[in-house]
Amino acid sequence: MLRVLTLACLITRPALSCETALILSIDVSGSIDAGDYRLQADGLAAALSDPAVADALVEGQVALAVVQWSGPDQQALSLPWQRMLTPDAVARFADRARTMPRAFSGSDTAVGQAIRFALAQVPAVSDCARHVIDISGDGQENAGFTDALARSEAVAAGLTINAIAIEEPGPAAPITSYYRRWIITPGGFVVTARGLQDYAETLRLKLLRELAKPIG
């Protein structure tokens, strides 16, 4: 009898579902030196390790992947898709983000091709309810497939693109304006990091905003 009841519970228990598939796509173009790359990798690991972020990732059974991008035909899936099913899974992913080697250096800024590459990773997590490309960078597109067409492809595929614009200190925000006009999708948003020293905290707040459950 006990065996039957246990089996019935296993059958009726709702399956865990992935609320969000999130591609963290980071800029490693020529404007990012070795120190800047280290700040990005450490900042990514720190943001993922934040208790509130980790809780949200596990609660939403989020699928995470990390892409590094630079010039045309320079995109790499540095950390393949992994489901954040437990706190240990989040901690392991954060550790891998901290130690991942740089994929490219010293090239152009091909934002549009970075978006297209991220789009190509989506079929592997088609069961997730929502798909988000989280792109960060410190420059405007200067090579490759056009950013506007890539964004249109993302919109047609039902994806959201959000962004972190890495700006120089001071009031000017040309990268933020560029991302807002040409990169983010309708319903997406852009946040500004004032230098890479601000990257970890900006990413932490951005992840909490992306993973927040809608009210109502």
Is domain 17-211 in CATH 3.40.50.410, yes or no?
Answer: yes
Q: What does pTM read for this prediction?
A: 0.89
117-163 pLDDT, tens per residue? 999 999 999 999 999 999 999 999 999 878 999 999 999 999 999 99
Q: Which pLDDT score, from 0 to 100, does residue 176 have?
A: 96
Task: Give the SS3 label for residue 170.
Answer: coil
The domain locations on the chain are 17-211
Indicate the average pLDDT of the chain: 90
Q: Which residue has the tokens 């925000």?
A: 173
Query: What average pLDDT does range 38-42 have in this prediction?
Result: 93
Sign of the dihedral through C-alpha 45, 33, 189, 74: negative
Q: Which pLDDT score, from 0 to 100, does residue 213 have?
A: 67
Percent of the chain, pLDDT > 90?
Answer: 81
